Amino acid sequence: MLCAALLLEPAAALAGDRANVPLKNWGGFAVYRDAVYDDLERLVAAGLAGPSILNTKPLSRTEAARIVASAVKAIRADTLGRWNSRRDLEAVVDRLTAEFRAEIAAQGASLPGAAPPAAGVLSLVPVDRAQAHLGYATERVSSVNGQGRRFETGLNGGMTFESRAQIGEVLTLSLQPEFAGNPEFEAARLAAGYAKLTLWNLELLVGRDSLWWGPGLHGSMVLSNNAAPLDQIRIGAAEPFLLPWVGQSLGPTKLLAFIAQMEERRDHPRAKLVGMRGTIAPSSMLELGASYANMFDGRDRPRPGVGDYPRILFDPPSSDQSLAGVKFRNNLLFSLDGDLRLHDVQRYSLPAQDLRLYAEFGWDDTCCETNFIPIDDALSWQLGAHLLGLFGWDGVDARVEYARTSERSYNHGQFTSGHWTRGEGLAHYIGTSGRELYVRLTSRFTPDVMLGLELVRATLGSTRFEAPSVEERRLGGGMDLSVRFWGAYTLWGQYQLADVNNRNFKTRDDSVEHVLRLELTRSFR
């Protein structure tokens, strides 16, 4: 049934490059992800793009181009001058049309200026962007939402680039090799890379890639890019589609599922992680999503048989940690999220042009029927407010998020490391019994200069089962500056300062932490 639904035609005819927009800061003007996502949020929050799905990331370049094309169409169809007062969106539209010019043209839309060359059967981008990065840390630090990156004490550095190819509208290839070094080690690795097969509106991805499910910026309740990208097989809708009969009411819909192979060195070697997500956008003002993740199996015995997998994945009692057989071990997480987008809210005396209010409500499995009916000890949640065009100032945005997890969030009696891979949490970095207040303010002074300021107050808990009840407490902030020069170069710098108590959950291990990062990116577009 899932595949049949996904074979339905997308909401609009699409063509072009289907590589994913990275969940990595390429070229500055953002943190934790590509700046494209921030600009898409601005368009959609302003009501310019119609019903859109943004909170199931990554988006493909073709999918992002569809949203931009919808916004361009709305501007051209505006005979009443509704958008004349929104000059603040001109720079956003210009940036996005420049980024996705070829993909928009492939959909049949016309843009000012010379048309991009017609795409052939093979489209090859040997080096799209290249980046050199340098960092200095006074302590060993994990980079929050940094795809598992860590900074050792002292100097850290490395180089990376991204390359991609598109064969017709069927096969997409993407590679991001990376070399990294610090005082402890030097290593070359494949940071991300995948092959993607697209038939009709069905997409099959095999490889290594990050996922982010939910509307938050600094964390998510089920899956984020805090840990290293997962080695996975993923199947889902290439583009949002309309379901039969109820499609006009539910709006664009997106479904996907994946299975990932975990690492060797963990509580259960080579455990598996299955995830499923569904998202709908009933209107331009609202997006709703539901997420499910289940860690199970492992190379150690006893191993489940083929007939045991349906019970492991979908039968709640199989997750009873005290009663179920060892071969049925599984760690389930669920979440529901919503994103309310209100445009032109200054009419109601609010201090912003547009406003996003979002929330995510998650829970962990415990036992039996409480897998699907959460109890207080297993709840986690996040609330956020995103004010775009703060005080009516063009290019100034503010965001506030508060997240809280419970004593049963992300830990498990059989998967004793918890919801975790390669040393980092798969969801929100605050872990078990965590709390966080996050504030970010950004100002784009010119098209080529942006300043960001952050404030973080957080309490972190270990996801390890029956770990000592020592909390790591952090109070700090940061500043980042993005500068574009010579057309193709961008320099992104960030300084972070934090007063840390009980570092790594060790009593009285207190210090003040300093981290300085520089990233120089060259675009070859």
> Is residue 2 helix, strand or coil?
helix
- For 206-217, the pLDDT digits (tens) are 999 999 999 999
The pLDDT assigned to 367 comes to 61
Cα–Cα nearest to 16, from 205, 173, 168, 201: 168
Residue-by-residue DSSP string for 413-466: SSSTT-SEETTEESS-TTBTT-EEEEEEEEEEEETTEEEEEEEEEEEEB--STT
> What tokens appear for 129 in the block?
């962007």
The pLDDT assigned to 497 comes to 98
Angle at 460 between CA 456 and CA 466, to 5 degrees: 175
The pLDDT assigned to 100 comes to 94
Q: Considering just the CA atoms, what is the radius of gyration of the chain in Å?
A: 23
The pLDDT assigned to 273 comes to 97
The dihedral through the CA atoms of 152, 37, 223, 176 has a sign that is: negative
Cα–Cα nearest to 201, from 238, 228, 230: 238
Q: Structural domain boundaries of the chain?
A: 2-523
| DSSP3 helix / strand / coil % (the chain, rounded to 5) | 20, 45, 40
Q: To 10 degrees, the CA torsion angle through 325, 327, 328, 329?
A: 100
CB 222 within 8 A of CB 56: no
Query: Phi and psi dihedrals of 2, rounded to 5?
Result: -60, -50
> What tokens appear for 26 in the block?
């390429």
pTM of the model: 0.94
* CATH number belonging to the domain at 2-523, selected among 2.40.160.130, 2.40.70.10, 3.40.80.10, 3.40.1280.10: 2.40.160.130
- H runs (alpha helix) in 48-89: 61-76
Chain CA centroid to CA 114, Å: 34
Low-confidence ranges of the chain (pLDDT < 50): 1-9, 11-15
- Side chain identity, residue 399: R
